[in-house]
A and B are shown apart, each in its own frame.
Chain A
């Protein structure tokens, strides 16, 4: 990375132009994150900001790296890169020829330590959505990373959530909330044609497959389940 820092003269742009581009990218990332409520930002969109006015081919990559550094040092945000994951059924198709590079996307994650974040940053007004996200990801993870739609709803029903419920007191339209999870790339939908016709499967997508997230999920699952076991033992 330090090599890139010294070599920006190869791009034939002035330092001021470079700074301006980096600023634009950082601004775009921050505001788009809010506008999207946390859906990942496509790398193409960021590249477009650069290639709109400048032709050099490796300039977008350099600018995005600089933006990453700025976000980290100024805001304490990590610009995490996610590789778009495809549903497992398409991976297994005989004629699968992955067209080019899978799209990369970015999410912004706070770099604060966990306790500090929990205490000061977490927005309690959206915690119920976070909770729902966690529960659904856990269920999908526990069923091997993939679960049929009816199976998922069967489990959610035990927690008072119904597919047709549009007026849940906390979550509102539950089906819609599930849909936002797909949009935010925690889950992805996959239609699998089995012997009985097509079934809709929910699979973990790149945000939930990201190392940190999936490890924490596993950790919490065992924590929650073991806690009950422990209390049972004591009793």
Chain B
């Protein structure tokens, strides 16, 4: 292939490319984009290098950098370049922000401050190696009320880092005696009468014998408060069953008499209904009752 043919081919190729470029208005050549990003990087480096100079009002550097950014911005089409553009803008903004923060309105620079410190607080004696000695203690005392930190407490009951004591694993002790088991209770008698039933029967017999008795006489057990209460309990069952009758006479004495339990039909037809009342009885009442009844007039036997 001759040179001219090669050139023609290249031209045709370029024309084809530019045709496609012409067809697609957003097309940007890869190398162009790379160049653009390189230029952005250059601007960012410039911002970093010149960061100390950027903050003054008539800084030429600042103006030129901003102009550069503006001109580069015209060519940005794709996301990668947009990122580079945004980063450059961020860098210059940050630099400016830092320098603005540094000016506290009085335009005091660090050097001024350090100079003043050295002048005010340098100690008189100078060391052999010529270093300045600052009286740090004095500065600290001046500044103490700004931090005003407290020191906390040092004395205390028990150190802060006490750990929980691990329980020691105990050896199982060998048994020194043989195992003993209590004899099992033989529960064969189902129809065993409860103590209450026995008391009820005893009480009913007494009622049948005496026909009418005083309540206190019937229930009191002079020697035992507990048994008195059990007697009252048995009496309450008799009353519930309808087999005992408690009446109040004119003098206000309670009288108990036996009677037949109501028939099933009477209960069903609601002729007989339950009535409740509270019989309050405590230790003091029992003591009073003991004085009320003469010795030997209690009716219920003492149960051991």
Binary A-proximity of B141-164 (CB < 8 A = 1, otherwise 0): 111111111111110100010000
CB contacts (< 8 Å) of A108 on chain B: these are 149-150, 152
- Which stretch from A12-20, A60-68, A127-135 is at the chain B interface? A127-135
Tell me the complex Cα distance, A131–B133, Å.
13
14 more A-B residue pairs beyond the given contacts A32-B152, A216-B145, with a C-beta to C-beta distance below 8 A: A30-B152, A38-B151, A109-B149, A112-B148, A128-B136, A158-B132, A159-B114, A194-B48, A196-B48, A222-B108, A224-B113, A224-B120, A225-B106, A225-B116
Is B131 close to A, CB under 8 A?
yes
Tell me the complex Cα distance, A115–B145, Å.
8
A144-194, CB < 8 A from B? 144-146, 155, 158-160, 169-171, 194
Chain B contact patch, size range: 35 or more
Give the residue of B48, B99, B153 whose beta carbon is less than 8 angstroms from that of A31: B153
Are B153 and A213 in contact, with the CB atoms below 8 A?
no
Is A143 close to B, CB under 8 A?
yes
Are A224 and B116 in contact, with the CB atoms below 8 A?
yes
What is the total number of residues of chain A having a CB less than 8 Å from a CB of chain B? Answer: 64
A87-120, CB < 8 A from B? 92, 107-110, 112, 114-115, 117-118
Tell me the complex Cα distance, A155–B134, Å.
13
State whether A144 and B102 are in contact (beta carbons under 8 Å apart), knowing that A107-B149, A160-B131, A213-B147 are contacts in the complex: yes
B interface: dominant SS: helix
Are B142 and A220 in contact, with the CB atoms below 8 A?
yes
Tell me the complex Cα distance, A95–B153, Å.
44
State whether A35 and B152 are in contact (beta carbons under 8 Å apart), knowing that A155-B114, A158-B118, A160-B132 are contacts in the complex: yes
Are B151 and A34 in contact, with the CB atoms below 8 A?
yes
Of all chain B residues, which has the CB nearest A186? B147
